[in-house]
Structure 1
């Protein structure tokens, strides 16, 4: 059972502000299960929720939990000037989708909720990891519009980030061509992108657990990105880091997006999510 193209904003006909929910079966489980939410990547400029239906279906089958995949508005591929959609707009859309999911009463065809709005597991891939870390770490000094409400913070149990972009300056030191390709269009043209490095943001909620995944075969985003975020989260969590911050950087060997198509990635996510269930 799937519910597609659900508007999460007042712009009900905007396909970039809609989400899909994939159920693990044809009936709503009782008691209501937690919800998994996947924020896709695409360098802030490409991809669509429909491209991730296989992953969502595989995750729903493996965990027994529904999986939501929201779209968000994208930066134009070839913006004519600086007056275009860019950060933090993408993350604001993702936050709006998450807030919507905490209050949604379920599809009219069912007539009741289809998941527990008080238990969320969040996933972000590539730039989706930057969005989640911008929201659930304290970026208020730079992007105050990304502050999550208390109800959402309480709902989030774990955050799983794969092949993440966290430190743009560090990324550009290895991939300088990324500046013109997607960084400047998404963040504006500037000498340094240090204000948007999520590896400098303070902790908001120490209760949330984090898993950092990175494939050895990823040639688009290098491992130092995930290493930097892992170290930052460990420092923020201090003596609790060993139980709250985890990483998997040795198991996968596929390319940046290819890992999302395989069941090995799904198994890693499933085991991490179900560990506390």
Structure 2
């Protein structure tokens, strides 16, 4: 029988059920809670996410100044509330490159050993996030696609500033390639992916793999951070009120890359990297109401200009962090399912 999601506290379970009920209420009730439609830059915010943001602002405004330990624990709790219970064939706890990892094996894999594998890096601004915050989306991606997912971890700032996360991501990926047989994976069918800061790390891994001749079949970059010196229209439009805020990004930058001169380093601001023409094909997904939208799309255009096979998908009505929202509402889950279907096509 498929395993269910991680055990959560009774309070978190109650909050998750309450949010699911609210987001499944009759349309008139949802409109009453959410208010008038939000339309910015020719886009309309998904009604279920608009209501969720409204409820969040009423119940528990996001505090960007809390101690880092509290910020991390809050993210775990919030992820459990919106992630819901996602079935999966099997989950294995591993150690990869000396760091915790989690291997998600779907109930119906697309192929037997050796088969495909997606190596996944979680988001969180390089300062928060872990295996638990991204447990639900990893389960959903693996079970829906039939492609096993291996979630890797990396050291977090401010305890471990740049380039610690980048180095851990690259070392973890190399370990996976070297131990592919142990993981039941075909080295020629390994992909890499991640969201936000994890998308940044996945992109960096793909660049390093191309430079060093390490096989990589595909990369999926979900609303990736690509430029720490960002000055974009999407930042000005969506830096407040749509979950990811300018204040959080400033704090993440200060913690992960405390030396301003390092923020132009192509290992973190990947829009400054030289793009190898033989880089793995990329699937770049952005969210319409995300301050990182424009820099993610700029990177996708850079890849295309360099001759890399790239597909860009903007989810116009969604917000930053939608990959975690697979247990409540419908718009984010549908987008994650689309990513899973694309994963199955690319690697399956």
Relative to the length of structure 2, the TM-score reads 0.62
* 1:246 lines up with 2:311 in the alignment: yes
- Determine which of 205, 208, 213 is the counterpart of 1:135: 205
Aligned residues: 241
Q: 3-state SS of the aligned residue for 1:118? A: strand
User: 1:2 and 1:273, CA in 2 relative to 1: closer, same or farther beyond 3 A?
Assistant: same
Q: 3-state SS of the aligned residue for 2:168? A: helix
- Determine which of 101, 116, 120 is the counterpart of 1:38: 120
Does structure 2 retain, via aligned residues, the 8 Å contact 1:23–1:65?
A: yes
Q: 3-state SS of the aligned residue for 2:133? A: helix
Q: Distance in 1 between matches of 2:173 and 2:194?
A: 13
Counterpart of 2:106 in structure 1 is 24
Q: 3-state SS of the aligned residue for 1:275? A: helix
- Determine which of 96, 99, 106 is the counterpart of 1:8: 96
User: 1:32 and 1:131, CA in 2 relative to 1: closer, same or farther beyond 3 A?
Assistant: same
User: 1:215 and 1:190, CA in 2 relative to 1: closer, same or farther beyond 3 A?
Assistant: same
- Structure 1, unaligned runs of 5 or more: 12-16, 77-83, 107-111, 139-145
Q: Distance in 1 between matches of 2:166 and 2:201?
A: 5
Does structure 1 retain, via aligned residues, the 8 Å contact 2:115–2:185?
A: yes
Does structure 2 retain, via aligned residues, the 8 Å contact 1:200–1:232?
A: no
**What value does the CA root-mean-square deviation take over the aligned residues?**
2.8
| 1:66 positional shift | 0.7
Q: Distance in 1 between matches of 2:262 and 2:180?
A: 43
Equivalent residues in 2 for 1:1-277 (5 A)? 1-9=89-97, 11=98, 17-25=99-107, 29-76=111-158, 84-104=159-179, 113-137=183-207, 149-150=212-213, 153-154=214-215, 156-170=216-230, 174=236, 177-178=247-248, 180-190=250-260, 193-196=263-266, 197-204=269-276, 206-218=278-290, 221-237=291-307, 244-249=309-314, 251-262=315-326, 263-276=333-346, 277=348
Does structure 1 retain, via aligned residues, the 8 Å contact 2:223–2:286?
A: yes
| 1:168 positional shift | 0.9
Q: Distance in 2 between matches of 1:102 and 1:148?
A: 15
Q: Distance in 2 between matches of 1:90 and 1:147?
A: 19
Does structure 2 retain, via aligned residues, the 8 Å contact 1:252–1:264?
A: no
Does structure 2 retain, via aligned residues, the 8 Å contact 1:22–1:60?
A: yes
User: 1:171 and 1:95, CA in 2 relative to 1: closer, same or farther beyond 3 A?
Assistant: farther
The 10-residue stretch of structure 1 (89-98 or 167-176) with the greater mean CA deviation from structure 2: 167-176
| 1:180 positional shift | 4.5
Q: Distance in 2 between matches of 1:267 and 1:101?
A: 25
The 10-residue stretch of structure 1 (184-193 or 62-71) with the greater mean CA deviation from structure 2: 184-193
User: 1:136 and 1:191, CA in 2 relative to 1: closer, same or farther beyond 3 A?
Assistant: same
User: 1:61 and 1:44, CA in 2 relative to 1: closer, same or farther beyond 3 A?
Assistant: same
Structure showing greater Rg? 2
Does structure 2 retain, via aligned residues, the 8 Å contact 1:74–1:86?
A: yes
Q: Distance in 2 between matches of 1:157 and 1:198?
A: 20
Q: Distance in 2 between matches of 1:113 and 1:226?
A: 31
